[in-house]
Structure 1
């Protein structure tokens, strides 16, 4: 009997989201029972609208370009779904004779994945639902890391590396770089990989897993400025004070969403006003979220693998799971795919553990650097300075 597949993208794009899509397509083509490989155009909303594209009809050269194409070729979303929406989604899936559903996304998308799984189960529809991990924030539970993070880590490390060269050449001011990751500091921490053999990396790194102390921050900046002249600071966008208050007040709220001002601009202003030192802010923002130029080859290959493994698991009638990764060798980087019950990853945030944050709470440990370095792929350029 012929059966159909549905692939859905959810949440923010990444540099390797399409690589996982490629993995699903290429693995699904191996099975004679698969008739259509549908993509929901525009995320979960695309399911409700029955806006489907059969990926089997797309030219081969375009499919082969997917692993190197940033963001999402089929579109993604952050739709706020209610219980009745999930019931409707289950009916649409049944109506279109879809047997296998693959949800590619992060925390919110895995919550959606789990709810689609339960909605189909409650209606007694014979549907297999499997999650494919994706998040630049690296905050999905249980899996060692998630596709999307390695490329975002490479971007922040490469960008900070170049900024450090700029500040070393003209060491007269403080540069504060804002990293994405409102509740988890993985991306900010990855900026530490900017340091090469000469250790010319960021001077200070602040992550949301630690309460931000403005006085300690100013003391750190003053001390380093007196010693070096130029200071490079990486600050997570989600920094909060000891009582949990964001260090920058909200500037706009709409429904469930709250928008904050720039942490980097705020901290640069604090340095100018309280220390009298020239300072500037940089906010790469979404420039590093889906950068093909900084795509990690390791990230790309693991994203493809996650897509393929999802199809393999589904064909073995495994459902209500997410594909993850487990390290198998602490000396030479090796991972193996694992299957994680979807309930264990639905809306659970995996934050930076204590062992990866230095005792001064203004940087990371060597253990974090050793853990993170393989994920960014090829070594970053090593620059020369005669200072």
Structure 2
């Protein structure tokens, strides 16, 4: 399941001056047979012992003693796709610095505006990336290269890689981007080309399967926390005051849940993974009424994909990336709450949607560390000839995983998990509404 494909046998001695022995205080090369167990539970361990089976393992990320590409003859390219996310520029910078200073790769190209940049008909051209050009970009949000949504013809994109003698393509993006990268890798394999395709998972929603955490997520709930604090001030400053804050989270509610834990002034957290009723004895509105009667203010956090079951959706619309366009649950809740309470008692409702501010923020310190590590590990894997893989942290260790393994399904908040139980303990809301 977690077997990483390779372009061939690495025969070039790595330019990195690392060690192969323990105890000399120099970092060691990672061997190809260095594996890490995926499921760390005692139950799985005992089953493997009983059945005399090898546990499911992942390939440890890191520099190899022998690499596939000759650094001085290698050309690499970087593309960023999809929505904005804190840390993209950090990853771009990290890749450029690692290629240039670690391996001496002479030519690094930036592909503007996502996969559009690999379609010559769009006329975007390329950007020459050097350490001097990218040295300060980590201080800013957004993407230095620009981005876009939507697919391009895979054959055309591979033709562009060939025409520009690109040996390694680094793709920074979420589910759709990674599926596109895998398709590019399949076309490369079909043609018998020596081009490595690497994915660095980027999704602010933290919904990439298997990996512990995607970059940008920590910054997202960090920035959101201060907004929740101020929203609480707004709510508590009025009699029967209420703040509704809509946060990003199309299919997974990790940002809303984590922000709620980080700033424990939230009374209700509504996420896509949960169904809830508005009306009835145990419905959301009755729970909200009890809260207002007891404390005279309330703070509600809602993920953008929550409550879609409340809408009459006869026709589903999608964006350029194929993602379902959700109805605006934030505005809907504000209107319905106002209607419900208008004859019960007067109230003040503040509605806040900081989504585009959050996703455009520069990475915080924690995400900056993660971005650099991901960039370095991606470069090591690419230079050793591995392809169609992503780099990520699993069980707090950096590993290489096949793109196909992480794109089979989206990661979601487990409503029976300790994480979600902690959210419920923080808010005081019931398990079911």
> Do both proteins adopt the same fold according to a TM-score greater than 0.5, normalized to the shorter chain?
yes
Match of 2:376 in 1: 308
The change in CA–CA distance for 1:249 and 1:231 in structure 2 (over 3 A counts) is farther
Of 215, 220, 241, the residue aligned with 2:287 is 220
Report the Cα offset of residue 183 of structure 1: 0.7
Match of 1:346 in 2: 407
Report the Cα offset of residue 142 of structure 1: 0.9
Match of 2:305 in 1: 238
The change in CA–CA distance for 1:249 and 1:193 in structure 2 (over 3 A counts) is farther
Give the TM-score, by structure 2 length. 0.74
Match of 2:356 in 1: 286
Report the Cα offset of residue 246 of structure 1: 4.2
Unaligned runs of at least 5 residues, structure 1:
328-334, 367-387
Match of 1:34 in 2: 105
Aligned length: 343
Report the Cα offset of residue 98 of structure 1: 0.7
The change in CA–CA distance for 1:363 and 1:212 in structure 2 (over 3 A counts) is farther
**Cα contact 1:158–1:194 (8 A) shared by 2:** no
Mapped partners of 1:364, 1:94: distance in 2: 53
Q: Give the greater-gyration-radius structure (CA).
A: 2
Match of 2:119 in 1: 48
Q: Give the 5 Å matches for 1:347-366.
A: 348-354=409-415, 355-356=417-418, 358=420, 363-364=423-424
Unaligned runs of at least 5 residues, structure 2:
1-69, 427-433
Of 150, 162, 173, the residue aligned with 1:94 is 162
Match of 1:266 in 2: 332
The change in CA–CA distance for 1:253 and 1:309 in structure 2 (over 3 A counts) is closer
1:151-182, CA deviations, whole angstroms, 9 ceiling, x for partnerless residues?
Answer: 11112122112211232333432211111111
Mapped partners of 1:224, 1:311: distance in 2: 52
Mapped partners of 2:158, 2:392: distance in 1: 25
Mapped partners of 2:150, 2:303: distance in 1: 26
Query: CA RMSD, aligned part only?
Result: 2.4
Mapped partners of 1:93, 1:306: distance in 2: 23
Report the Cα offset of residue 263 of structure 1: 1.4
**Cα contact 1:22–1:63 (8 A) shared by 2:** yes
Match of 2:25 in 1: none
Match status 1:202 vs 2:261: no
